[in-house]
Each structure stands twice: as C-alpha cells, then as structure tokens.
Amino acid sequence: MKISHLILSIIITLIGLSNSYGQSCLEFHKSKNCKPKNSDGFKLSSLSRGYQLEVGKTVTFEVVLYGDQEIILQCCTEDDFYPVRFKLVSSVNGDEIYDNKYNDYIDNLNLALDQTELIAIQVSVEPKKASAKGKKVCIGMSIYIEDTPVRN
C-alpha cells in the first residue's frame, strides 16, 4: 500500500514539474529578455503572449493591431536559443508583410499602421547550435502600444 502511494506521489510531482515549466513560459513575455530598450511612453498590451515552443517549430499568434498607434513588437527567448525569427503575415490575404530574417534577425520592430489590421505573427526559434534541435524553450511576444496615441 505504501509503495503505491509513493509511486502516485512521484507521478504527481513529475506532472507538476512538467506543467510548471510550461506555466512559467506563459509569463515569459514579461521577462527582462522581452523588454525593448526604447519603450518609454509605451505600455505592455494584453495582446502579448508567452509560450513554450520546441526548437524548429513555429507558433502563430493572430492579433488585431489598431491603426493610428505606434507599436513595438518584441520577440524573445531564453539566452542560449537566439535568434528568434518572426514574420508578420496578413490574416486577410496571406501576404507576408515583414520577416526579420532579412534584417539580421533583429528582435524588435517599431511600426505604425494607417488602419486596423488582423495580423498573424509567426514565431520560431532558430539557434545556431545543432544540439538545441528538439528542445523546448520559452518564447515571448511582447506588444507595446504607445501610451497616449496621437489622433488626427
């Protein structure tokens, strides 16, 4: 009887450990890795997300970005797993709007839209170390919106 209780408690502990790692990733977008240097006058949007992602896989976040506001998009991961690749794709027609691969994998982007857009943000981790393939890492997508947008 005691052995079965011991086995059950070990299983529950292991489940808790595996879930706690994934849970900690949910808040990764609030970590110091995800804070852009030029964010004075901006506030973290509730559109921001943290996620646990397997290296070599891609996750897509679909967000509505409002026009007439300056936005900072910051994509980040754990220190040993850079670079992070992110692409902005129109959810309406599938056109690629931006890919940071062509800007040496910069980790943030400032943008201002003329009109409200539904955009898919595709994020993947592409570390240079081959040994990282298949590992699960925390990623963050922080969206900062100017605190007091200028209206015309």
Say if CB 123 and CB 14 are below 8 A apart.
no
Q: What are the angstrom distances between the C-alpha of 34 and each of 9, 45, 141, 146?
A: 36, 13, 7, 16
Q: For 81-136, how does the pLDDT look when each residue is reduced to its tens digit (9 = 90+)?
A: 999 999 999 999 999 999 999 999 999 999 998 999 999 999 999 888 878 888 99
pLDDT of residue 130: 78
Which candidate, 87, 96, 81, places its Cα nearest to that of 60? 87
Residue 18 reports pLDDT greater than 90: no
Rounded to 5°, the CA angle 109-51-117 comes to 45
- The whole-model pTM stands at 0.79
pLDDT in tens, 3-16: 554 444 444 444 44
Q: Which CATH architecture has domain 26-146?
A: Sandwich (2.60)
